[in-house]
Amino acid sequence: VIALLMDIDSYPEWVYQCNTAKTQVIEDQPKLVYMAFNGIWPAKGRDVLVDHRIQQNHSTGRVHIHAFNSLEPYIGEKKYLRLPQLNNHWYITPLADGWVEIEFQSQFRAGGKLPNWLLNLVVTLAPKKTLEGMQKLLTSGRYNTATIHDLPIQTAEVLKLRFGAPPIIARD
């Protein structure tokens, strides 16, 4: 799951309406991610520069990835409107028998004037389609043998992650 979340090039394959995702290095900042999203008529597409923080509870193995819009200035394509706010949280918790629980929380402000029906469509469809796309890639076998050294983003936070046999949390 972590390998997929760190595989920025794969985002257009599974993140809802994402058409571009690429890493950006701005000065000595950790790698940032530029993302652009298709618009849904009548809305214009949106873009955002995403920063992230990764933490792990070493006693449970639970990983929290917080992705949020960076305050770094950047030049996107003129055809996109800038997302004024993006605040995503991914929680990955190891469970019994090799399973993991994935929790995804997303909060954003699209900017501009958009009809309520369109906002309602996006807030209900985007998480569902994103998680379905994630499941499709995770069950494809593409990430089955990934190790921490295969992760394309190698920050100090990422290299502190530990996997293996943390205490397992049983779910009923």
Q: What is the pLDDT of residues 20-41, one digit of tens each?
A: 998 877 666 667 889 999 887 7
Rounded mean pLDDT, 57-68: 90
Contact 137, 125 (CB under 8 A): no
How far is 152 from 155, CA to CA, in rounded Å?
9
Q: What is the pLDDT of residues 69-92, one digit of tens each?
A: 987 777 777 888 888 888 999 999
**Amino acid sitting at position 86:** L
Contact 32, 26 (CB under 8 A): yes
Rounded mean pLDDT, 148-169: 52
- In terms of residues, how long is the chain? 172
Task: Name the pTM for this structure.
Answer: 0.79
